[in-house]
Amino acid sequence: MKLSVIGCGYLGAVHAAAMASLGHEVVGVDVDAAKIDKLAAGETPFFEPGLGEILQAGLASGRLSFTTDMSAAAGAKVHFIAVGTPQRKDGTGADMTYVNSSVEALLPHLGEGDLVAGKSTVPVGTAQRLSELVAPTGAHLAWNPEFLREGFAVKDTVEPDRLVYGVSDTTGETDTATLDEVYATAIGAGTPRLVTGYATAELVKVAANSFLATKISFINAMAEIAEATGADVTQLADAIGHDNRIGRRFLNAGVGFGGGCLPKDIRAFAARAEELGKGESVAFLKQVDEINLRRRQRVVDLVTHSFDDHVNGHRVAVLGLAFKPDSDDTRDSPALDVAVRLKGLGADVIAYDPEAIPNARRAHPQLAYADSLDDALQGAETVVIATEWKAFRALDPVETAQKVARPTIIDGRNILSPADWRDAGWTYHGMGR
Ligand code: UDX
């Protein structure tokens, strides 16, 4: 089937390449010429395992192309809207500029019976509004939210754990059949597929992310209580996680969640609920956000306490800048925020990340970045683990002690064995343990 993907950021670039890998003919469209040039040359604009391979294979097959020219979308049967909905400058709500402008630009190229399928995370009510905009062209609109995780984006797109189609009462049956054709491989493999109205499909996405964020903040709240009582939050998570109604996943206490989705999505959802006069229903999301931000400060406090509250001029190695491992993404990253806050307090911060330094440097040129893990550790008086990269999990306490100036470590992701590190002479602080 011929498809267009409007917006070639994280979501769109992965979606376009993944759809081509399933045999579809795909054109990716974006207003950013530099991004399009890169993609067309087979280069991924960000770090994502497996994307390079399917991108290059798609280009080589002739089924995948990229352009800044929206007219190339004409003739596609389905047009996926995959543009960003960033947090508004004033801090609340989603900025809908890109969704609105891309749909406007697409309108002249739509044909009778085409399907516009929204994938972006949007405030509930958006699909209904866009469907009215699209209707005069004879095209239909569906909402088909995306649940991909960075680091697993290709797998999550090709083998999703569920498909959700938000469709209209009038053209729902036809549009469901069209989307079934797009996702024939996943459907053939038995992927659950839920057909809903527009509002439900839009809400599924923000509800899922709100639940995940709440789960993380719940365990981080327990970490705060554990810190006040001498309990161990990791053991607590293991114990409650055995109850399969609760489940162990997303119960890792630490420096908190970040990234391009969870933080902005819970804030945008709370703002939308306010507009709907239902602010109270999701008022807890404000606390979820607050608990999350408090954990960053907790790490900063542990570092400053390790210097008797005088961090000025002391060498602190911050290991990790990406918001999670296997990613170079530093958007709303707790790790980068901790480094910046410590630098702001006058610490001599040296930061290291296996992938995220270029992005971190662009946003924070004032920070010092190490070329290697070893360089970061050399002479450090306190080491902070801020992202749980494999290389940091694998650190040997005895060898590492020989590199640093003072064996003090703040394990902001609870990935090390406190006993092993203490036995090797380290002062070890975890999060809630
Ligand atoms: C998330 C959702 O998982 C995905 O379904 C949605 O489509 C987009 O948002 P992503 O942003 O890639 O995906 O990251 P995710 O793996 O969910 O992690 C989010 C953040 O939570 C990371 O900063 C991670 O370090 C943190 N986290 C996760 C914890 O602090 N503790 C946990 O137990 C799990």
Q: Is 254 found in the same domain as 173?
A: no
In ligand 1, the atom with minimum distance to the C-alpha of 265 is: 9
Query: Long-range pairs for 281-285 at CB < 8 Å and ≥24 separation?
Result: 282/210, 284/214, 285/210, 285/213, 285/214
Q: What would the mean pLDDT of 258-278 be, rounded to a whole number?
A: 97
Q: Is 147 known to sit in a ligand binding site?
A: yes
163-166, strands of its sheet edge to edge: 64-67, 25-29, 2-6, 78-81, 115-118, 140-143, 163-166, 193-196
| Mean residue pLDDT across the chain | 97
Which pLDDT belongs to residue 90? 85
Domain boundary residue, one of 261, 289, 317: 289
The residue whose CA has the least distance to atom 1 of ligand 1 is: 149
Distance CA 75, CA 4 (A): 9
Q: What would the mean pLDDT of 123-129 be, rounded to a whole number?
A: 98
**261: Cβ below 6 Å to ligand 1?**
yes
- Known catalytic residues? 261
For residue 150, the CA-to-ligand 1 centroid distance in Å is: 8
Which pLDDT belongs to residue 249? 97
Q: What would the mean pLDDT of 406-417 be, rounded to a whole number?
A: 98
- Six token digits for residue 355: 């992938």
DSSP symbol at 312: T
Residue 25's pLDDT band (cuts 50, 70, 90):
very high
In ligand 1, the atom with minimum distance to the C-alpha of 121 is: 7
Q: What is the DSSP string of 250-306?
A: T---SS---SSSHHHHHHHHHHHHHHTT-GGGGTHHHHHHHHHHHHHHHHHHHHHHH
pLDDT in tens, 168-193: 999 999 999 999 999 999 999 999 99
Amino acid letter, 387: T
Q: Which CATH number fits the domain that encloses residue 318?
A: 3.40.50.720
The per-residue b/e assignment along 26-39, b for 16 or more CB within 10 angstroms, e otherwise, is bbbbbbeeebbebb
Distance CA 51, CA 49 (A): 6
Domain boundary residue, one of 229, 254, 289: 289
Q: Is the ipTM of this structure higher than 0.90?
A: yes
The residue whose CA has the least distance to atom 22 of ligand 1 is: 257
Q: Is 30 known to sit in a ligand binding site?
A: yes
Distance CA 272, CA 266 (A): 10
Half-sphere CA count of 327, side-chain side, radius 13 A: 21
**385: Cβ below 6 Å to ligand 1?**
no
Q: Is 341 found in the same domain as 270?
A: no
Q: Is 150 found in the same domain as 42?
A: yes
Q: Is 404 found in the same domain as 259?
A: no
Domain total in the chain: 3
* Residue 354 resides in a domain: yes
The residue whose CA has the least distance to atom 31 of ligand 1 is: 252
Cα 88 vs. chain centroid, distance in angstroms?
A: 17
Report whether pLDDT(89) > 90. no
Which pLDDT belongs to residue 20? 98
* Residue 258 resides in a domain: yes
Q: Is 252 found in the same domain as 356?
A: no
Q: Is 42 found in the same domain as 24?
A: yes
Contact status, residue 314 vs residue 324, Cβ threshold 8 Å: no
- Six token digits for residue 202: 């839009």
Q: Is 244 found in the same domain as 335?
A: no
**263: Cβ below 6 Å to ligand 1?**
no
Q: What would the mean pLDDT of 210-223 be, rounded to a whole number?
A: 98
pLDDT in tens, 282-341: 999 999 999 999 999 999 999 999 999 999 999 999 999 999 999 999 999 999 999 999
Give the domain range for residue 308.
Answer: 297-429
* Residue 357 resides in a domain: yes
Q: Is 29 found in the same domain as 157?
A: yes
For residue 41, the CA-to-ligand 1 centroid distance in Å is: 30
pLDDT in tens, 59-82: 999 999 999 999 999 999 999 999
Q: What would the mean pLDDT of 207-225 be, rounded to a whole number?
A: 98
For residue 365, the CA-to-ligand 1 centroid distance in Å is: 26
Q: Is 403 known to sit in a ligand binding site?
A: no
Report whether pLDDT(422) > 90. yes
Helices (H), 110-171: 126-134, 153-158
* Residue 201 resides in a domain: no
Q: Is 139 found in the same domain as 14?
A: yes
Contact status, residue 265 vs residue 210, Cβ threshold 8 Å: yes
Which pLDDT belongs to residue 218? 98
**212: Cβ below 6 Å to ligand 1?**
yes
Q: Is 147 found in the same domain as 24?
A: yes
Q: Which CATH number fits the domain that encloses residue 245?
A: 1.10.1040.10
Distance CA 195, CA 187 (A): 13
Q: Is 245 found in the same domain as 171?
A: no
Domain boundary residue, one of 289, 322, 356: 289
pLDDT in tens, 235-266: 999 999 999 999 999 999 999 999 999 999 99
Q: Is 318 found in the same domain as 278?
A: no
Q: What is the DSSP string of 5-29?
A: EE--SHHHHHHHHHHHHTT-EEEEE
Report whether pLDDT(133) > 80. yes
Report whether pLDDT(91) > 80. no
User: What phi and psi, each to the nearest 5 degrees, are found at residue 84?
Assistant: -75, 155
The residue whose CA has the least distance to atom 23 of ligand 1 is: 257
**147: Cβ below 6 Å to ligand 1?**
yes
- Cβ-count burial of 177 within 10 angstroms (0-12 exposed, 13-18 middle, 19+ buried)? exposed
